[in-house]
Amino acid sequence: MVRQQSSAAGVLALLQEPDPIFKQHALKALIPLVPQFWAEISEHIALIEALYEDNEFPKPARDAAALLASKVYYFLGEYEEALSFALGAGSAFQSEAKTRGSEEYVETIVSNAIDRYIQARSEEESGGKSKVDPRLQSIIETIFDRCISEGEFKQAIGIALESHRLDVISKIYSQTKDVSLLSYAMEGVLDTNSSLVYRDQVLRFIFPLFPAPKTGDQSPHVHALNRLLITLSDPELTIPFLTSLVESQQLLAYQFGFDLVEGGSQDFLENLRSALPEGDETTQPVYDKLRQILTGKESVKLYLEFLKRNNKTDLLILKTTKDALEARSSIFHTALTLQNAYMNAGTTSDVFLRDNLEWLGHATNWAKFSATAALGVIHKGFFEQGEVILGPYLPQAAGESGVTGANYSEGGALYALGLINAGCGSDITTYLRDALKSAQGEVVQHGAALGLGVAGMGSKNLDTFEDLKTVLFTDSAIAGEAAGYAMGLVMLGTAAEEPVGEMLHYARETQHEKIIRGLAMGTAFIYYGRQEEADETIKVLLAERDPILRYGGVYTLALAYAGTANNDAVRQLLHIAVSDTSDDVRRAAVTSLAFLLFKNPSQVPRVVQLLSESYNPHVRCGATLALGIACAGTGLQDAIEILEPMTKDSTDFVRQGAYIALGMVLVEQSEASTPSFAATRAKYAKVIGDKHEDPVARFGASLAQGFIDAGGRNVTISLQSQAGSANTSAIVGMALFCQFWYWYPLAHCACLAFTPTGIIGLNGDLKAPVFDFVSNAKPSQFAYPSVTTPPKKETVAKVATAVLSTTAKVKAREKKKAAAEGDAMDLDKDAEGDADVEMKAEENDKEAVEETKVAPKKQAEPSFEKKPNLSRVTPAQLPYISFPRDCRYQPVRSVSTKPASKSILHSAGTDKFAGGGGILILTDQRPDEESEFISLEPPPIPEPAHAAPATGQALPTGRHIALDESTPEAAPPEPFEYSDTIHDEDALVQRLEPYEIICAMRERTKFNRSLLDRLPNLKFIATTGLRNLGIDITYAKEKGIVVSGTNGGGNTTVEHIWTLLLATVRQLVVEDRNIKAGNPQWQSTLPIGLAGRTLGLIGLGRLGAKTAQIAKIFDLNVIGWSPNLTPERAEAAGVEFVATKEELLRRSDIVSLHLVLSGSTRHIVKREDLALLKKTAYLINTSRGPLVDEQALVEALQKKVFAGAGLEVFDIEPLPLDHPIRKLENVTLSPHSGYLSDTNLSVFYGETVENIVGFLDGKPLRVL
């Protein structure tokens, strides 16, 4: 039995011995005893330190003394001393690291070593004189080596970032080639408290390490590269990168263009456009297209089309709100105005306004301003027609209107014009500047300034800034406030000291609180994203006596460190929230937490939990908005659990904030994913309909209804871009929205944070092809909310006869038995309403209830769904989206930035960001096949108004062809029938000029540029099929002529291909002619047999592949070639791939063409190609006549270079009567009738009528 040691005195006594051997033994023996006897050993610490400092003492003994002193100081809690001695312990410390039981001590020392090393490196990098202790450097190098050898790469990268050791990151990547580690390093410096200078240094260092993205692998690091480029916003770095992509990966260049537009500022994008090279003959079209993408207008138009197509606005909700709120009350009128604007944001749908013109007419003064400005929210992005839509309201050239109240409509229209052009406002800023300078009244100046600020956000235009400053110096409270906001928006993120100095100086001089608030917020915008560069100004503002300037200081702090989760900034805001003397400042401090923490929404509920229970209602209100903004669109249950009790708060504006925040959190959630979704919607309806509820709370519930159904239920509220970078427009929009507390018209700016959530796939021509992708989740998880149903009218119910429960049991058993035997009786439907009602003897008698229940079998919900292009895909749904391998179109970058989580319900809102989706450039896996595209037709242009409504009603948007309902209906045209085809243009013009709608059968009549110019009445062409090369569709669009096509029915074309082929090679037409002519020779030809022969297909698209499939039935050997055909695609179609056209022509017994006619395929079969055919070969052309040189074909057939041809198509159709082909005996002809069949024409004619009706209704279908 081993006796337990009760003291270290005996071993300590050996330290007093003169013999060094005893001292060395004592030191080694004491080290393992420290955890038990550290207090006793600490009394001899001076002696232990002296032994360590004794240079005559052996090195191993000195190391042991240092380790012993380090461990004693560790247990004493003196970690700095413990680290100092551990550094002197050398090899003894390394040995201790391997000793069992010392893990906690070693971990603490290593942690402190890392902290000291980071501090020393930071001082060294900042120019300090102190250098890193070599012993400390050695420990850190050991830590790096151990992390790398054990595969703890992220831990090593974290230490390297904090200690400014970028060489370690390079070393790790060179060993692993793991791109995700570079992305991790990038996120580490972007999402932590790194200074701007160091952040940029790291990003510039790791950028060259990223491998060049490629189209084929969906480039998983495209999101990271995009975020990096947006953060740096350096054209000198971005231009060479884009140029390299243009040369080798054009589709990726387009993808980066769209992604940069998502998060890039206006001046950055403008610099990119101007710095892009012109390019040579090959690359110039690509650069031109990329330059157009970088204007931002392409993205805006695509999202506008997406929102218009998928609009699911529930008008019954708006009607219910309108009926509940008093229209003559300004606050209620504004509430419904904003609700309608949010619900229809970007959809261009003003149906509710047109249906409620009387309600709209009740708007007066600033309510009229808000109602007019709301048109900008509804039509946001429709920049092409913004001035037309708002034309009747905008100030006229003669100056402001003298009509009473018209100035409010004019000011609201100018503000609306800015909202419409937000994100692409460079074209409208000149107009708004002129309007601002010419405006005389402060209301119009107010609207012009706000519009100019929103449209010119981040443009950094000093001329615009000076124009706004001129308005500011008029010292008008209303105009000056808007000028203050706009000055900050124009200079967004510049940290320009001189403008800030001027603005703050004027803020201290003026007596108008509105101007001070505008300038204070403008200052915050100028320091957006500037982090430490704003510190001095923040310090000055927070020390001001004026609470409004301190209010601005709070927002300056929030916006300067937006998205960084900076600990010092968070700590400072929390301090202000509980200590400032102004309720406004305290509320703003709590709200501002959202702007710091929005990248980690799951943290926000924990941070504001206690604040939400504050005694101060302003702090509680700030907590609601902080949760709403930071957790918007996440459906985060922790946030909902805090907000729901706050909807019952005793203070009205706290309830208002809770309603609004819940609407933000629940936007784009479903009843399946969020249990409280339906209950919250019902609560809104109840509050709005309760006339005893406070108006402020009802106002909040109305706005919340708008948020929860924003953008036709197709947008989310997100302060992050799809790549994970800060969404500048959204952050600014939400900061402005928070000012609705003081000024309702600023609530319109919430639409700047609305992010459309859809997948919009485009090919290399920036057209949207028709295709499906897969959502690998149950449809109900991400379904649209159910449509509201109107309340049913109450009917008098018949009183049911009561029976005892025993009787009910007997009936139930009989019914169950009959059903089991298959003899269940059909119940009379009328009798069901008069059924007896059981009168139970006991409340808990469940037997009869269970027996009477007939549970219908519920079909299992599918675990996935197919969704077409331009479909809604919510952020939480993105990880579940996939493109099937056999899908013709594949994205050039990954759809989502994160993989699918195991649980849909619990994944929402817990990740840092769920980027991806949006506009996707697609690579076409089968370019030879004919493509079907989605028509991206702009919304109908509103009818011009004859006079501006005095009350400021919204203008109705009408049909393409305006109809005056008061005029008598026009008489129908005279009956006519044309059976000829005219090629003379003058004759065509004479025949077609009167008509506004023309139906074109296939490609017989050529509607070229010159003909279209001579048909002034033409508004609509209805053609058959989804492709018509006889119509100059591009020029028709330029002239405003809509062209629609139709689908087809059946397999008519494939059937005709084989009909013509068999008729040709079997000589059926010759035999038919001989029999009918009375030729006594019964059989006059010798057909060729197909089995074992070779069929050569030029083109292997949809029709070519089907032709090959049928050929196998006849035992034909099938070979294929086309300019873009690959061996893989040929193999997939079961066709032998041949490398050249010449080889195919030499080997084939029958050649059949299946190509789309284009500039590159015209005369793809030339004279020299025909000479390569076998003497016994046949040529079949059912595609387009010009694919073959027709003159050369005629000559070859006349000379019988090959056996014959079957021709369905010709250069000129109908084929002229004197054409030489008609006289050839070795040709089988058909009159381009491959599309003709009863099934096909039924679809052609039926959909042509649908297209005409759709056009007349202002909703054209199948636009080409």
Catalytic residue ranges = 1184, 1213, 1232
Q: Which residues 6+ apart lie within 8 Å of 605 measured at CB?
A: 627, 631, 636, 638, 639, 641, 642
Cis ω on the peptide bond leading into residue 35 (within 30° of 0)? no
Contact 189, 180 (CB under 8 A): no
Contact 562, 720 (CB under 8 A): no
Q: Which residue has the tokens 């993989």?
A: 899
In the chain the first and final C-alpha atoms are separated, in Å, by 96
Could you write out the DSSP letters of every residue in 179-235? HHHHHHHHHHHHSSS--HHHHHHHHHHHGGGSPPP-TTTT-TTHHHHHHHHHHH--H
| Cα–Cα distance list, 35 to 76, 96, 103, 307 (Å) | 11, 13, 12, 68
> In angstroms, rounded to a whole number, what is the distance separating the alpha carbons of residues 1133 and 1121?
12
Closest CA to 443 of 473, 480, 469, 418: 480
Number of C-beta neighbours around residue 1251 at 10 A: 25
Task: Name 838's bridge partners.
Answer: 803
Which DSSP state fits 859? P
Pairing of strands 997-1000, 1020-1023: parallel
Closest CA to 701 of 690, 712, 711: 690
> In angstroms, rounded to a whole number, what is the distance separating the alpha carbons of residues 46 and 719?
59
Closest CA to 137 of 102, 165, 172, 161: 165
Q: Which residues 6+ apart lie within 8 Å of 474 measured at CB?
A: 480
Alpha-helix residue ranges (DSSP H) falling in 908-1008 = 985-992
Alpha-helix residue ranges (DSSP H) falling in 925-996 = 985-992
In degrees and rounded to multiples of 5, residue 772 shows phi and psi of -120, 145
Contact 116, 136 (CB under 8 A): yes
Which two three-digit tokens encode residue 626?
A: 């902080």
> In angstroms, rounded to a whole number, what is the distance separating the alpha carbons of residues 414 and 400?
12
**CA angle 852-857-859, nearest 5°?**
155
With 0-12 / 13-18 / 19 or more C-beta atoms within 10 angstroms meaning exposed / middle / buried, residue 899 is exposed
> In angstroms, rounded to a whole number, what is the distance separating the alpha carbons of residues 137 and 448?
61
Burial 21-59 (b: 16+ CB within 10 A, else e): eebbbbbbbbbebbeebbebbbebbeebbebbeeeebee
Phi-psi region of 1016 (alpha: psi -120 to 50; beta: other; left: phi over 0): alpha
> In angstroms, rounded to a whole number, what is the distance separating the alpha carbons of residues 918 and 871?
10
Could you write out the DSSP letters of every residue in 792-823? PPP-PPPPPPEEEHHHHHHHHHHHHHHHHHT-
Pairing of strands 865-868, 772-775: antiparallel
> In angstroms, rounded to a whole number, what is the distance separating the alpha carbons of residues 640 and 673?
13
Total length of the chain: 1264
Contact 520, 548 (CB under 8 A): yes
**CA angle 1098-1118-1176, nearest 5°?**
80
Q: Which residues 6+ apart lie within 8 Å of 46 measured at CB?
A: none
